[in-house]
Structure 1
Amino acid sequence: METPSCKFYVDPTADEETLKKAVRHVCKSVVKEWHGVEETLMEVSHITGGITNLLLKVAVTSSGVSPECVTVRIFGPHTEAVIDRDREIQGLRHLSESGFGAGLIGLFDNGMVQTFIVARTLTPPEISQPELAARIAKELRRLHETEAPFPKEPQLWADLSRFMKKASTLSFEDPKKKEIYESISFTELQEEIDELKRSSKSLEAPIVFAHNDLLSGNVMYNEELDKLYFIDFEYSTYNYRGYDIANHFNEYAGFECDYNLYPSKDVQYHFFHHYLDGFSSEKVQVTEAELERLYIETNVFALGSHLYWAIWAIVQARYSDIDFDYLGYFFLRYGEFKRKKEDFLSLIPLQQIDE
Structure 2
Amino acid sequence: MGAKKIYNGFVGVVEAVEDGHSNAEPYQLSTLSVDLSLPLPAMTPRIIELCKDLFKEWSELDASRFSVETVSGGITNQLLKVTVKEESGTSVSVTVRLYGPNTDYVINRDRELQAIKYLSAAGFGAKLLGVFKNGMVQSFIHARTLEPSDLRKPELAAEIAKQLNKFHKVYIPGSNEPQLWNEVLKFYEKASTLQFDDTGKQSIYDTISFQEIHNEILEIKELTSLLNAPVVFAHNDLLSGNLMLNEEEGRLYFIDFEYGSYSYRGFDIGNHFNEYAGYDCDYSCYPSKEEQYHFFRHYLQPEKPDEVSQKDLEALYVESNTFMLASHLYWALWALIQARMSPIDFDYLSYFFLRYGEYKKQKEKYCSLARSFLAGSGLGCGSA
Task: Provide TM-score, normalisation by structure 1.
Answer: 0.95
Report Cα offsets for 1:76-116 as digits up to 9, x if no partner. Answer: 11111111100000101111111111111111111111111
1:348 aligns with 2:370: yes
Tell me the SS of whatever aligns to 2:370: coil
Instruction: Please list every run of 5 or more consecutive structure 1 residues that lacks an aligned counterpart in the other structure.
Output: none
User: Who is 2:233 aligned against?
Assistant: 209
Distance change >3 Å, CA 230–CA 16, structure 1 → 2: same
TM-aligned CA distance change 1:29 to 1:266, over 3 Å: same
Deviation of 1:28 after TM superposition, in Å, equals: 1.8
Q: Secondary structure at the match of 2:233?
A: strand
- 1:22 match: 46
How many Å apart are 1:176 and its aligned residue?
1.6
Whole-angstrom CA distance in 2 between matches of 1:331 and 1:255: 13
Distance, in Å, in 2 between the alignment partners of 1:177 and 1:148 is 40
Give the partner amino acid of 1:335: G
Per-residue CA deviations over 1:291-349 (Å, capped at 9, x if unaligned) read: 00000000000011111111011111111111111111111111111111111111113
Please give the alpha-carbon distance, in whole angstroms, between the structure 1 residues aligned to 2:291 and 2:253: 22
Does residue 198 of structure 1 match 2:198? no
The 2-side partners of 1:88 and 1:200 are apart by 25
Taking every aligned residue pair, what percent have the same amino acid on both sides? 52
Which of the numbers 294, 302, 308 marks the counterpart of 2:316?
294
- Aligned 8 A contact 2:297 2:305 in 1: no
2:183 corresponds to: 159
Which 4+ residue blocks in structure 1 deviate beyond 6 angstroms?
Answer: none
Query: SS of the residue aligned with 2:369?
Result: coil
Counterpart of 2:260? 236
Q: Distance in 2 between matches of 1:32 and 1:238?
A: 36
Alignment of 1:270-289 (within 5 A): 270-278=294-302, 280=303, 285-289=307-311
The equivalent residue for 1:255 is 279
Aligned to 1:188: 212
- Alignment correspondent of 2:3: none
Q: CA deviation at 1:161?
A: 1.3
**1:313, 1:283 → 2: CA distance?**
37
CA shift at 1:284, angstroms? 6.3
Matched, 1:132 2:160: no
Counterparts of 2:236 and 2:226 in 1: how far apart (Å)? 22
Deviation at 1:285, TM superposition (A): 2.0
Q: 1:342 to 1:287 in 2, by over 3 A?
A: same
**Partner AA of 2:207 in structure 1:** S
> Relative to 1, partners in 2 of residues 1:145 and 1:220: Cα closer, same or farther, differing over 3 Å?
same
Q: How many residues align?
A: 353
Q: Tell me if 1:12 matches 2:36.
A: yes
Give the whole-Å Cα distance in 1 for the aligned partners of 2:156 and 2:58: 37
Secondary structure, aligned partner of 2:181: helix
Question: Structure 1 84/180 Cα, relative in aligned 2: closer, same or farther at 3 Å?
Answer: same
Distance 1:284 1:267, change over 3 A: closer
